[in-house]
Structure 1
Amino acid sequence: MNWPTHGSNPHYLYKAAGIRQPAQIYDFSANINPLGPPKSLREDWDDFFQEIIYYPDPKATSLRTRLAEQEGLHKDQVIIGNGGAEIISLIGKWLTGKRVMIIEPSFSEYEQTCRVNECSISYFFIDHNGKIDVPHLSEALTDQDALFLCNPNNPTGIYFEKQVIEQILTICSEKKCYLIVDEAFYDFVDAYQSLVPLLNQFPNLILIRSMTKMYAIPGVRLGYMMADAEIVQSLQNQQSHWSVNGIALKAGERCLDEKHYVEQTRLFVRKERERLFRNFRKHRFDFLPSAVNFYLLRDPSMEDQSTFFQFLLKEGIVPRHTYNFPGIEGKWLRFAIRSEKENDILLEVMEKWRAIHQSSL
């Protein structure tokens, strides 16, 4: 079946599944901040509107400078993109024809953009507990030019601690391999340890970040990358002129001031995640120990979750399928943490499923 390759836009999912879309649906497939955008964006929107009559700064100098100052870098080590997706696409072009390894399961865009650019692709799979076997990875990395690692991992939600990343980074450095770490969900992690200080020590390290997830602005499209200045310049040489619009640039700067909003988000997500996991445990669902605003879940009584998946869709619950995640194809479903009300509705539907399908575990 030709499943959609990403979350959101549920009508495509219902069409692919051959299921009539209910009048009321709850979308758990897109991992966006359940609190919605910061209030300041709405309050300042009229000011942002003024930007549409001007061409945006093609070098995004103001936002780059703010980010560089925040992270203790030079602005030449930062590039702004039209969402993390543009950054990944630029990296794919930069790696044209190279040998690339992807730690799976992971975000599908890495493989897609690398295949478009005729890279040779191989996989390294995390174990069933969501851990990376670093010694085995070291053996597998022979003759690789670049390694993609999503941290926190999408779709598992598991966060790899800085010590593990440093081990992998050291191995990559010894093997003359770039380590590309996608940190799209880093700001949801309570105990996050920054990798930014490692950039000046390891010129083979590349960090990708998104601003659309934490700040709930996927329609604006905004992301950035931090790396060695030469790498940044190489990507800028490939980037389309004015690829990031003026409203996005202004919104990005405003979001950098929202420290309290980020803390509120982490607190809310943590409380809801713990509440959900207690209920899942009670009703005998398996889940992985996510550190962020989404998680993998399954009914352990069945290997393939397609029956469970179709039941949820008919009930108006839209999870993210996992058929295009190598290593877990269809064996789990991914759910975003939504509002308290939406999460309550999800739990009600889960209880309804369990009443029909009693687990023998």
Structure 2
Amino acid sequence: MEPDAVDEVGRVEHGGEADVLDFSANTNPETPEGVADVYRSALADAQSYPPDLPAEFRVAAADCVGCSRQEVLPMPGGLAGIRLTAEVTLTPGDSALLPAPSFGEYSREVRLQGAEPVFVDHDAVLDADPSEHEMAVVCHPNNPTGEAYDDAALREFASRCRESDTRLLVDEAFLDFTDRPSLAGTEGVVVARSLTKMFGLPGIRAGFLAATGEMRRRLGTARQTWNLGAPAIAVGEYCLTRREFVEQTRARVRAERDRMAATLGEAFDVFDSAAPFLLLDIGERSVDAVLEAARDDGIAVRDARSFRGLDSHIRVAVRLPRENDRLLEVLGDV
């Protein structure tokens, strides 16, 4: 990290509120059955240092994304992996190709290294020339638009990054909600994954990176020792093997997202989404007025103006059917 950059880079606003029906955060409102028991059972192991490279966790993660165990590096959440990738890739004066609008932490992490983010429209990022940059980032599916990229086009972009010696970071935080294949195990690509979204466990802080070859070695060397505690390791391993839970969640989210998009589309411009959220362009309405009206009815929605290039947008998560009914009722009156 570049010390001087710390004084110039601020924090990024995120969703998530208590004491309301929260549609501002895009995490699963359900968790796999049995998680609490696994967590409690792991507390005894917390009296000792955890394994630095927990074998069972790495096997579960590798099976989940289709790579080898040796290519998996445990992380305390996907964002920790994003930072580590930036740290071992970028130096002051470098540049990174970033989609916009997208997750605001990408540009923050780039700037913390003293490097410069170069933005391109999210739907044109795979057509961009990566050769002028040391790193490129793709959010797949993209947050906040929900766009999932064509698999062949994504792999072709990865090939061009590899040819130009540009490090490609693919953030797959929401890929679990699709049936798309992961890029884990692809030469020259670093994949970041998290348990936050699919398994509804943002407070556990568990995830992993998948990388190959020399980049895997560099990440492994720079990674903090014991960066996952015993409960996070146990819960992570358990969740990553809950394939029935994943399939049931995908089906629920797909059905509810389609239903919500159809209803909300009568009043708003709704972006196509493969993720557990919908981005809405509310047109001439006041974003502040919509946020306030929703909150008066006990609902929090995400002010999407914090995303680069958006000025008349809100984002809503896909929750449980009865909760989604309430959102549709409230937004139908704004």
TM exceeding 0.5:
yes
Q: Does 1:195 align with 2:183?
A: yes
Paired residue for 1:218, among 188, 202, 209? 202
> Matched residue pairs, number?
323
| 1:29/1:318 contact within 8 Å kept | yes
Query: Quick one: percent identity of the two aligned structures?
Result: 29
Residue aligned with 2:124, SS: coil
Query: 1:224/1:186 Cα in 2 relative to 1: closer, same or farther (>3 Å)?
Result: same
Matched to 2:248, the amino acid is Q
CA distance in 1, matches of 2:39, 2:231: 9
Computing the radius of gyration from Cα coordinates, the structure with the larger value is: 1
Residue of structure 1 equivalent to 2:252: 268
Paired residue for 2:20, among 21, 25, 39? 25
CA distance in 1, matches of 2:66, 2:270: 37
Q: Does 1:286 align with 2:269?
A: yes
Structure 1 residue 314: Cα displacement: 3.1
Q: Does 1:316 align with 2:298?
A: yes
Q: Does 1:8 align with 2:16?
A: yes
Residue of structure 1 equivalent to 2:212: 228
Query: 1:236/1:54 Cα in 2 relative to 1: closer, same or farther (>3 Å)?
Result: same
| 1:161/1:193 contact within 8 Å kept | no
| 2:184/2:190 contact within 8 Å kept | no
| 1:95/1:117 contact within 8 Å kept | no
Paired residue for 1:296, among 274, 279, 282? 279
Query: 1:45/1:165 Cα in 2 relative to 1: closer, same or farther (>3 Å)?
Result: same
Structure 1 residue 71: Cα displacement: 4.3
| 1:162/1:195 contact within 8 Å kept | no
| 2:97/2:133 contact within 8 Å kept | yes
Query: CA deviation digits over 1:48-97, x for unaligned, max 9?
Result: 22222221112223311332355453333111100011111111211232
Residue aligned with 1:79, SS: strand
Instruction: Provide the TM-score with structure 2 as the length reference.
Output: 0.90
Residue aligned with 2:58, SS: helix
Residue of structure 2 equivalent to 1:95: 89
Structure 1 residue 4: Cα displacement: 6.2
Query: 1:162/1:101 Cα in 2 relative to 1: closer, same or farther (>3 Å)?
Result: same
CA distance in 1, matches of 2:256, 2:67: 35
Question: Which runs of structure 1 show a deviation greater than 4 angstroms over 4 or more consecutive aligned residues?
Answer: 69-72
Structure 1 residue 258: Cα displacement: 0.7
| 2:167/2:188 contact within 8 Å kept | yes
| 1:82/1:244 contact within 8 Å kept | yes
* Structural mapping, 1:156-171, within 5 Å: 156-171=145-160
Paired residue for 1:113, among 105, 109, 120? 109
| 1:66/1:253 contact within 8 Å kept | yes
Question: In terms of mean alpha carbon deviation, does 226-235 or 150-159 score higher?
Answer: 226-235
Instruction: Provide the TM-score with structure 1 as the length reference.
Output: 0.83
Residue of structure 2 equivalent to 1:183: 172
Matched to 2:124, the amino acid is I
CA distance in 2, matches of 1:82, 1:210: 9
Residue of structure 1 equivalent to 2:135: 146
Paired residue for 1:39, among 11, 33, 40? 33
| 1:57/1:242 contact within 8 Å kept | yes
Query: CA deviation digits over 1:171-217, x for unaligned, max 9?
Result: 2223221111100010101x4133235x1xxx321111111211111
| 1:179/1:204 contact within 8 Å kept | yes
Flag structure 1 segments of 5+ consecutive residues without an equivalent.
11-23, 354-361
Residue aligned with 2:114, SS: coil
Paired residue for 2:78, among 75, 81, 84? 84
Paired residue for 2:331, among 336, 341, 350? 350
Residue aligned with 2:119, SS: strand
Query: 1:317/1:52 Cα in 2 relative to 1: closer, same or farther (>3 Å)?
Result: same
Query: 1:210/1:182 Cα in 2 relative to 1: closer, same or farther (>3 Å)?
Result: same
CA distance in 2, matches of 1:295, 1:319: 11
Structure 1 residue 43: Cα displacement: 3.6
Residue aligned with 1:44, SS: helix
| 2:23/2:316 contact within 8 Å kept | yes
Residue aligned with 1:168, SS: helix
CA distance in 1, matches of 2:75, 2:250: 25
| 1:295/1:334 contact within 8 Å kept | yes
Residue of structure 1 equivalent to 2:7: none
Query: CA deviation digits over 1:6-55, x for unaligned, max 9?
Result: 11145xxxxxxxxxxxxx62111111112x11012134343222222221
CA distance in 2, matches of 1:133, 1:232: 25
CA distance in 2, matches of 1:61, 1:156: 36
Matched to 1:321, the amino acid is D
| 2:74/2:208 contact within 8 Å kept | yes
Q: What RMSD, in angstroms, separates the aligned Cα atoms of the two structures?
A: 2.1
Flag structure 2 segments of 5+ consecutive residues without an equivalent.
1-9
